[in-house]
A and B are shown apart, each in its own frame.
Chain A
Amino acid sequence: AQSVAQPEDQVNVAEGNPLTVKCTYSVSGNPYLFWYVQYPNRGLQFLLKYITGDNLVKGSYGFEAEFNKSQTSFHLKKPSALVSDSALYFCAVRVTMEYGNKLVFGAGTILRVKS
């Protein structure tokens, strides 16, 4: 089965420090990977995606992610965290089915940035 795993329930980081939110994947074939962020009582916002090409992907709000095929990882990073980055982050993989595509999400990681 195609899936993603987020090994950390919560990540704590001080404002101004670099942050990393981890994601590993298990996919047959080439993975289509995504990061989404969800603020309290809101929908999911798309941050960035890896489809093909450069392993370092840049996205919204200063976030970037590094695709590592040998380690089957797609970690989300930001050089300098802001308090406003505190939210719930989901990694996802696109799964192709017979009649359509769907996203399979990881369990989510709560990011807390403290001032």
Chain B
Amino acid sequence: DTEVTQTPKHLVMGMTNKKSLKCEQHMGHRAMYWYKQKAKKPPELMFVYSYEKLSINESVPSRFSPECPNSSLLNLHLHALQPEDSALYLCASSQTTAQLRSYEQYFGPGTRLTVT
């Protein structure tokens, strides 16, 4: 099973709202990622978690707050977003360098976020 699930599929929120995106995988991967993707552009890395600890933050604004409560779950908490934050938010997972059996990342279907 190479499935990464994301909820919700679509989300519309106002600039004063607080919402959360959720991601789940059961492949035993210990690295999880959040990406932001604009239409017809490559994904842009936001955060990397390795063994449930934040290892990479690509200078993402604090209105995006990631959380990794356990090895299977990854959340992205959203607060006071701007219209330019509207995008497809993708979650991915992979084995870590220590696990070292494969290197590819597996992506979820994404959450289409619209900020009004």
Contact = CB atoms under 8 A, between A and B. Distances in A.
Interface of A: 32, 34, 36, 41-46, 49, 51, 88, 90, 94, 96-97, 99-103, 105-108, 110
B12 interface: no
Main secondary structure of the interface of B (DSSP, over half): strand
Interface residues of B, number: 29
A31 to B, nearest CB: 11
B99 to A, nearest CB: 12
Given A97-B56, A102-B56, A51 B42 contact: no
Interface of B: 2, 4, 6, 31, 33, 40-43, 45, 48, 50, 55-56, 88, 90, 92, 94, 97, 102-110, 112
B104 A34 contact: yes
A107 B103 contact: no
B105 A42 contact: no
Nearest to B112: A41
